[in-house]
Amino acid sequence: MPVLVNINGELFPPEEARVSVFDRGFLFGDGVYETVRTYFGRPFLLDRHLARLGRSASRLWMPIPGGLDGLEREILRSLAAAGNVDSCLRIMVTRGARPGFVNLDAETAGDGLVVIIVRPFEAFDPACYENGVDVALVGVTRMGKRSLDPKIKSGNYLNNIIALHEARRQGAFECLMPNQEGCVTEGSTSNVFLVKKGVLRTPSLDCGLLDGITRSFIFEIAAEAGYRVEEDKILPADVFGADEVFLTSSLKEVMPVRSVSGQKVGDGRPGAVTQDLLRRYREGVHRLVGPGA
């Protein structure tokens, strides 16, 4: 079965997967989540995703029913039951429902809800990698660290939805959001890197962004390859002046950017460092979860 939904340990086909209208994830976005993809049928960097889910949940004082070990078992069981060649997983935990109650106070929540959606993995259009994608620097600022810290991967993505909408209206594939100080943070569902004179630069976590699992993996493979990586404050002018720009995420891997707000990046073609890192990323995947790993 290609799409399968695990709700609190029970498996359902998609059309029968239902949760309560009183669930706080539905009412308030009061939940956390992770997106993970598989390669060769095996979830990639699952331990790191689960650790981040645990960190997100604890920042919201939200228990994970069954704990992270129980969750991992359910993920593997759901993947096996779905039987896809490769899957995309959405792993969600909410603070649950108390039927009849609509009350912000977290103390009034019932038991938590755990949902795992398994879908067949659908690759991006190969043109995204061959030509690069267009991004737009938007006016919508990234939520500040002292409001809902972007390091918490919560189920509340309205900040990102409106920023992406602004970018899409400009014909761009992804947005880049500034913080309140005007420094670049990240995209709606991606981190961003620049290449300038062979050095990699990416916004530091202090600027207010998600500590992407792919972002950290890039640090590791870039170090192995001998690239210098700087975590820094990045201004829009740095992005416009970069030789190369690329996005990272568990689904996008390393995706070249060919233009920013209509201005060509470098010569408008995916750069050599970006292509090298994408190749090394995929080699890393083989090494960790490939056949014989």
Under a CB-based contact definition with an 8 Å cutoff, are residues 121 and 87 in contact? yes
Say which amino acid occupies 266: G
Binds ligand PDD by CB under 6 A, chosen from 56, 94, 154, 189: 189
Least separation, in Å, of the C-beta of 102 and ligand PDD? 27
Smaller CB separation from ligand PDD, 38 or 97: 38
Smaller CB separation from ligand PDD, 114 or 176: 176
Least separation, in Å, of the C-beta of 214 and ligand PDD? 3
Binds ligand PDD by CB under 6 A, chosen from 214, 266, 280, 285: 214
Name every residue whose Cβ is closer than 8 Å to that of residue 32 and which is 6 or more positions away in sequence. Answer: 53, 56, 57, 60, 62, 92, 93, 152, 153, 154, 155
Least separation, in Å, of the C-beta of 210 and ligand PDD? 4
How close are the terminal C-alpha atoms of the chain, in Å? 27
Name every residue whose Cβ is closer than 8 Å to that of residue 67 and which is 6 or more positions away in sequence. Answer: none
Residues 90-149 binding ligand PDD (CB under 6 A) are none
Least separation, in Å, of the C-beta of 117 and ligand PDD? 11
d(CA 201, CA 178): 16
Site map (CB under 6 A) of ligand PDD, residues 145-174, x = contact: ---------------x--------------
Site map (CB under 6 A) of ligand PDD, residues 33-72, x = contact: --x-------------------------------------
* Paired residues of 200 in beta bridges: 195, 229
Size of interface with ligand PDD, in residues (CB under 6 A): 15
**Tokens representing 186?**
């990240």
DSSP code for 257: E
Under a CB-based contact definition with an 8 Å cutoff, are residues 236 and 178 in contact? yes
d(CA 80, CA 74): 10
Binds ligand PDD by CB under 6 A, chosen from 212, 266, 270, 271: 212
Strand, coil or helix: 209:
coil
Site map (CB under 6 A) of ligand PDD, residues 230-269, x = contact: ------------------xxxx------------------
Smaller CB separation from ligand PDD, 119 or 269: 119
User: Looking at 9-17, 133-141, 208-216, 275-283, which segment touches ligand PDD (CB under 6 A)?
Assistant: 208-216
Binds ligand PDD by CB under 6 A, chosen from 191, 202, 259, 274: 191
Strand, coil or helix: 193:
strand
Token pair 């810290």 in the structure block, residue: 149
d(CA 154, CA 151): 9
Residues near ligand PDD (CB under 6 A) are 35, 160, 186, 189-191, 210, 212-215, 248-251
